[in-house]
Amino acid sequence: MRPFNYSRAETEKEAADAGSDGATFIAGGTNLLDLMKLEVMTPDALVDINPLDLKSISTTDDGGLRIGALVTNSDCAADQRVRHDYPVLSKAILAGASGQLRNKATTGGNLCQRTRCYYFYDTAMPCNKREPGSGCGAIGGVNRLHAILGASDACIATYPGDMAVALSALDASVEIRSANGNMRSVPVTDFHRLPGDTPEKDNVLETGDLITAVTLPPPPGGTHVYRKVRDRSSYAFALVSVAAVAKMENGKISGIRLAFGGIAHKPWHDPAVEDVLTGESPSEALFDKAGEILLKDAIGQGSNDFKIPLARRTLSAVLRQATASGASA
Amino acid sequence: MTNKFEMNDPVADLKLDRMKQGLVGSPMDRPDGKMKVSGQATYAHEWDVPGRVYGFLVRSRHPRARVTGINRDAVMQMPGILGVYDDKRLLRNPAQGMADEAPVQGTEEVFYLGQPIALVVAETFEQARHGAEALEVSYTTLDDGVFDPETANIADDDRGRKALDQGDIETAMAQAEFSLDETYRTPGHNSAAMEPHCSIAEWDGDQLTLRGSYQMLKFNRNELADSLGIDPANVRILSPYIGGGFGSKLGIAPEAVSAAIAAKDLGRPVCVTLARQQVFDMVMRRSETRQRVRLACDQSGKLTAIGHEALVSNLPGETFSEPVVQATHFLYGGATRRLGIDVARVNRMCAGSVRGPGEAVGMQALENAMDELAERAGIDPVEFRKRNIPEEHPEKGIPYSTRKLHEALDEGAKRFGWEKRSAEPAKVREGEWLIGTGMATAARVNMLQESQARVTLTAEGKAVVETDMTDIGTGTYAILTQISGDMLGLPPENVETRLGDTDFPPASGSGGSFGASSSGSAVFLACEDIRKQIAEKLQADEADLDLENGEVNAGDQTHKLSDLLNGKPMTGEGHVVPGKTGEAVSQGTYGAFFVEVAVNSTTGETRVRRMQGTFDAGRILNEKTATSQCYGGMVWGIGIALTEELMFDNRDGHIANRDLAEYHVPVNLDVPDIEVHLLKERDPWASPIQSKGIGELSICGAAAAITNAMYNATGIRFRDYPATLDKVISGMAD
Amino acid sequence: MQKTELTINRKKRSIEADPRTTLLDALRHHLDLTGTKKGCDHGQCGACTVLGNGRRINSCLTLACMHDGDEITTIEGLGTPDDLSPLQAAFVRHDGYQCGYCTPGQICSATAMLQEVAEGWPSNVTEDVEVAPPLSREEIAERMSGNICRCSAYPNIVKAILEAAEADQ
């Protein structure tokens, strides 16, 4: 770990000012310190934002929820409103990491979680995300964890988190305070980027931007499913995960939101998949069609080829479960 | 006078069974338990050594190269940095188990990516770690790297190790009623002991004290001394608590030698602990294997031929080769046999012993093949195995010592409810889950090793047991306390067992499952020495002594031990050496695994729902710790079957998944409530205390029972490990 | 150097250390509290688990200087060899360990985990996340999956926790 200056921000402005000067925010620190120890990330300055008043969950004017950026994953998953109105979010958070990590990891920090690509984590290896221009070690190497959708010649890494997958299915937004104090809201589905030629940029945050909250629209109702498929039964990253919020009316799918983890550089959201399902009666043929649309551009890299059938199978199983109740809950 | 015993004949006298104190065999709590659960047990890193500084190893970033220079000056200018060492004595990789001499030294020539090449020492851990990462190293790359064992050229003297060619296997296969010829692959494994390797080296003049995490101290002392070029008499190693070994701490390792070199130069104690990634990079791997298994049997299911030929790998210059076919030599009959191991020389990190070397992966393939041949022959897999238990060793013609394989298979089947099983695959379904059951035989060779111990009866009538034996979690503190407590008639609180100090009599060390029997026998013999001295005092026969609760009874006399000692301590020394029984009979340990799995028909995920193990390992010294050892082996079986795999990048031989997030050892939820049943047995050929090894038996075949159950659940045979979900769904119809 | 004042095991402690120092290394190198173990240093094994303001955390993935004013409880604060906590005693009775290296983390983790269950927190194996689940074998196994035990004492760890939890009811 390289030496750094440590300071605490008591106000959002203090934090943003430090951020504008190039400091890196630290909240839970569970991923940042992990990467700093390996010198994958080497900030000169850390600003501890834990003193900020961003630790509460409140109801918004439109009946949704505002989850402060410093609300821990544990507190978010255990919140009665989240459990009752947005169970897919509780489920996704609980499917990730461990009890200890969830107690430190925060809502804002978790959105910024970096890839688990083996080559990103190893400074002896080339990696365009860690060191732009050095090449991609994962292409042609070991790539079990890697992307099947939206990858580029520069990077085939995946976004590893669970929470953001559920947030994508819930049509949540990220509330961001810019360096100049202006607030903006970015849909979670637009928050993370595809790698393209600049895989070093995981998301749309600019220098000095501070995530202040995640906002959820009014409770969507319906059946909530989060299914995570991984290499052991707990405490492992997703190979494929699917978040679904489905509403049924008269035996037909009246509305559905789907998002996918473990298959791309961002939580994957494809409106075309939802469109083909909406208004239809659930059937295996319909689920297959949804899978075809989802995966029509999917490309395997060798050791992750299996993710293509796995994503299709998992989607079908999730749709089966999400539409089984027959009517809106 | 040392009570020395050479194991040349079976021991008819089951002395421990006549002892009155009733400790041996009982599920006694570990005497070290309270220290462990309260955080008071001192592991290597935790010794309070005033003035200590920290070292961090630098790894090679190239797989095959020559180091042409290091930018020492730049790092020396960083805050807190005390020294940068690239001494010619640094180790390329750890010593193999029981090497007793230095492994390959000098790190200028790089043989694998991740090889240690220098040590950076600083006042604080944080400074040393950063200094090591910042050290600029220049290399000349060498272009003769070989990274894929399956495409490597194999030298003549690396072919056919432990080979046997008995009869003509091609003919036997052609003439057989039923036969099987399949190839199995198992990947590399990491021991992943929870405590990373650590050494604190401290010099006092020419005397070196190393507080380390090591399994076999008498060998480690010689290995360390040889590495440094000093007299072993000047080396003391302390390892009273070891945070898991599993073979990874058998031989002296790079961190110890580098710490000693730096500490000597700086005149300060130096602590070097490996980062978890370095444990993956530079300690020991279990070799990957490719195993061709050929089996042939007649109409009645009697094996007529066994072929088991393996390809394993190691670094150039290493003598160790994964002994894949070890149990195949003695487990099943069949007159025609072809066994052997080829070794590919690759630029991957060093291969060495990992829990159950040989059988852990060899039994896996053999027991998969047995399951498949049983099915081809239309015979129940339990019955098929019972029909192939040979009368005598199928190659040497010698008898077996005790061997309750038949009983283990029957008892296990009964406890598991095997008769309720559907033999036809893919027939039982619960929602998305396909349910299946499977079984496998457990088998592992048994060994006794030279071991010494000293037991002192203090004037107060308490016992102090001393040996440089280690407890790597295996329960040594418990069993040595129990043996001496029984032999001397003392409750466990009046026995103090001291381990892990080379100042104590040299023991076998922990490895090869021989630790308990070997060190236990030495303690038994030391106690017998004391009993003889007591008998002499009482002018009685040692065999007539009854010792219990601090009292000795001989005929009509009863004395308190403390009275008898009359203020003078009494010391006994025990020394066991292996002898002719090792060759006169075939000694092994045996058992059976029964498993129920659920395989998800959608995602291919597998969950082990039930796991039953029945084992015969001679006398069980502590039912509780022996059971825990069996849990351990069986859970390793879950890992080997389903999740564990070192993922090598064949472009440069480096390990991609070099941490515990991506090398998947089983977690709590992966493990069901395992049932272990220990058969009652005494093996008079094995050791003076009739016990045998148990630490590794329970891994040997366990993975096969799981994949055999997966076959029963899905109809898919798994021959390429681990049986991860991608392999499951690729075998499933859509 | 960064000065940090915190309460550890009910005692006020102060350290002045490189800001890079993790809470784990502060305990082990600066405060002579070596009961907390380093297994992976990256939040991948749970051996370093301590209680921070009552919640279980990985002490390896947090900087000591971020805990100014916090209350930390380590294994040494839960019980001593002569006065074990009920969970510690249950681990001894059930052989809920072998080498002992992951054990302090397991016990700290279990101590806090039982509190989480008491507060009604759901887990990934909870059927309906809206309803507080009863403590079952499966719930314990899932919630303890962030604590790796390579000796694989898992069956006994679960038994020890179940027994301690039931005794507490």
What residue ranges define each of the domains in chain C, with the CATH number in brackets? 2-78 (3.10.20.30), 86-168 (1.10.150.120)
CATH code, domain with A274: 3.30.390.50
pLDDT at B163: 86
Asked if A231 lies within 8 A of B604 by C-beta distance, the reply is no
- Interface residue B671 vs chain A (CB under 8 A): no
Distance from C-alpha of B624 to C-alpha of C147, rounded to nearest angstrom = 22
Nearest Cα of chain B lies from the Cα of C41 at a distance, in angstroms, of: 7
Helix axes B476-488, B623-638, angle to 10 degrees: 160
Distance from C-alpha of A163 to C-alpha of A107, rounded to nearest angstrom = 8
Exposed, middle or buried by CB within 10 Å (0-12, 13-18, 19+), for B316?
exposed
User: Which residues of B have a catalytic role annotated?
Assistant: 696
Chain C environment of A229 (Cβ under 8 Å): none
Measure CB to CB from residue B126 to each of A1, A122, A309 and give the nearest one. Answer: A1
b/e B691-703 (16+ beta carbons within 10 angstroms → b): bbbbbbbbbbbbb
- Interface residue C23 vs chain B (CB under 8 A): no
Cβ-based neighbour number of residue B48 at 10 Å: 8
- How many CB pairs below 8 Å do chains B and C form together? 197
Which of C59, C61, C98, C156 should be substituted to probe chain B, the one whose Cβ sees the most B Cβ atoms within 10 Å? C98
Residue B554 and residue B486 share a domain: yes
- Closest-CA residue of B relative to A236 is B661
Q: Which residues contact residue B592 at a Cβ distance below 8 angstroms, ignoring those fewer than 6 apart?
A: B382, B405, B408, B409, B411, B412, B413, B439, B440, B441, B442, B613, B614
Structurally, chain B folds into a number of domains equal to: 3
Measure CB to CB from residue A101 to each of C119, C122, C146 and give the nearest one. Answer: C146
Strand boundaries in chain A, DSSP class E: 5-8, 24-26, 45-48, 57-59, 65-68, 173-177, 183-187, 210-216, 223-230, 238-249, 252-261
CATH code, domain with B201: 3.30.365.10
Residue position matching structure tokens 């393996």: B310
Phi, psi for residue A251 in degrees, rounded to 5: 75, 5
- Max Cα-Cα span within chain C: 49
**pLDDT average per 10 residues of sequence, chain B (734 residues):** 95 95 98 98 98 98 98 98 98 98 98 98 98 98 96 94 92 98 98 98 98 98 98 98 98 98 98 98 97 98 98 97 97 97 98 98 98 98 98 97 98 98 96 98 98 97 98 98 98 98 98 97 98 96 96 94 95 98 97 98 98 98 98 98 98 98 98 98 98 97 98 98 98 85
Flag whether A86 is in a domain.
Answer: no
Nearest Cα of chain B lies from the Cα of C160 at a distance, in angstroms, of: 12
CB C59 within 8 A of CB C50: yes
The CA–CA distances, whole Å, from A205 to A108, A178, A195, B361 equal 12, 9, 14, 49
Asked if B662 lies within 8 A of A116 by C-beta distance, the reply is yes
Flag whether A244 is in a domain.
Answer: yes
The dihedral of CA B59, B61, B65, B67: what is its sign?
negative
pLDDT at A329 over 50: no
| DSSP state letters, B550-588 | TEEEETTEEEEHHHHHTT--EEEEEEEEE-THHHHSB-E
- Interface residue A243 vs chain C (CB under 8 A): no
Amino acid at B346: V
- Interface residue C115 vs chain B (CB under 8 A): no
Residue B622 and residue B544 share a domain: no
Q: Residue A69: how many CA atoms within 13 Å on its side-chain side?
A: 23
Q: How confident is the model at residue A328 (pLDDT cuts 50, 70, 90)?
A: very low
Residue B277 and residue B262 share a domain: yes
pLDDT at B161: 82
Distance between first and last Cα of chain C? 47
Residue B465 and residue B411 share a domain: no
Flag whether B149 is in a domain.
Answer: no
CB B484 within 8 A of CB B454: no
- Closest-CA residue of C relative to A78 is C121
**Structure token pair of residue A144:** 């079990």
Flag whether B65 is in a domain.
Answer: yes
C100-139, pLDDT tens digit by residue? Answer: 999 999 999 999 999 999 999 999 999 999 999 999 999 9
**Vertex B710, ends B705 and B714: CA angle to 5°?**
155
Measure CB to CB from residue A313 to each of B113, B603, B654 and give the nearest one. Answer: B603
Residue B281 and residue B202 share a domain: yes
- Residue numbers of A between 94 and 123 with CB closer than 8 Å to B: 116, 118-119, 121-123
Residue B557 and residue B408 share a domain: no
- Closest-CA residue of B relative to C80 is B38
Exposed, middle or buried by CB within 10 Å (0-12, 13-18, 19+), for B157?
exposed
Measure CB to CB from residue C124 to each of A1, A46, A234 and give the nearest one. Answer: A234
Flag whether A265 is in a domain.
Answer: yes
- Interface residue B656 vs chain A (CB under 8 A): yes
Q: Mean pLDDT over all residues of chain A?
A: 97
pLDDT at B39: 98
Asked if C49 lies within 8 A of A1 by C-beta distance, the reply is no
Cβ-based neighbour number of residue C3 at 10 Å: 10
Chain B environment of A236 (Cβ under 8 Å): 661, 664
Flag whether A228 is in a domain.
Answer: yes
- If you ran DSSP here, which 8-state letter would residue A282 be given? -
CB B371 within 8 A of CB B440: yes
Flag whether A76 is in a domain.
Answer: no
pLDDT at C24 over 80: yes
- Which residue, B255, B270, B285, sits at the end of a domain? B285
| Helix, strand, or coil (residue A85) | helix
The CA–CA distances, whole Å, from C49 to A106, B22, B196, C73 equal 18, 39, 16, 10
Asked if A103 lies within 8 A of C20 by C-beta distance, the reply is no
pLDDT at A326: 56
Measure CB to CB from residue C145 to each of A33, A103, A234 and give the nearest one. Answer: A234
Chain A environment of C66 (Cβ under 8 Å): 26, 29, 48, 50
Peptide bond just before B505 cis, omega within 30 deg: no
Phi, psi for residue B547 in degrees, rounded to 5: -115, 130
Nearest Cα of chain B lies from the Cα of C103 at a distance, in angstroms, of: 6
| Helix, strand, or coil (residue C61) | helix
Asked if A2 lies within 8 A of B607 by C-beta distance, the reply is no
Distance from C-alpha of B227 to C-alpha of B255, rounded to nearest angstrom = 12
Q: Which residues contact residue C90 at a Cβ distance below 8 angstroms, ignoring those fewer than 6 apart?
A: C96, C160, C161, C163, C164, C167
Measure CB to CB from residue A48 to each of C20, C58, C66 and give the nearest one. Answer: C66
The dihedral of CA B25, B29, B35, B36: what is its sign?
positive
- If you ran DSSP here, which 8-state letter would residue B595 be given? E
Mean pLDDT of the region A147-163: 98
- DSSP-assigned beta bridge partners for residue B178: B297
Amino acid at A251: G
**Structure token pair of residue A205:** 């945050």
Chain C environment of A94 (Cβ under 8 Å): 122-124, 126, 129
The whole domain housing B540 covers 2-41+449-578
CB C143 within 8 A of CB C115: no
Nearest Cα of chain A lies from the Cα of C89 at a distance, in angstroms, of: 23
- Max Cα-Cα span within chain B: 83
A71-116, pLDDT tens digit by residue? Answer: 999 999 999 999 999 999 999 999 999 999 999 999 999 999 999 9
- DSSP-assigned beta bridge partners for residue B116: B59
Q: Which residues contact residue B424 at a Cβ distance below 8 angstroms, ignoring those fewer than 6 apart?
A: none
Flag whether B292 is in a domain.
Answer: no
- Interface residue B623 vs chain C (CB under 8 A): no
Distance from C-alpha of A199 to C-alpha of A151, rounded to nearest angstrom = 10
Cβ-based neighbour number of residue B510 at 10 Å: 33
Asked if C43 lies within 8 A of A34 by C-beta distance, the reply is yes
In this complex, the chains that touch A, judged by 3 or more CB pairs closer than 8 A, are B, C
The whole domain housing A250 covers 223-323
Flag whether A231 is in a domain.
Answer: yes
pLDDT at B38: 98
Flag whether B31 is in a domain.
Answer: yes
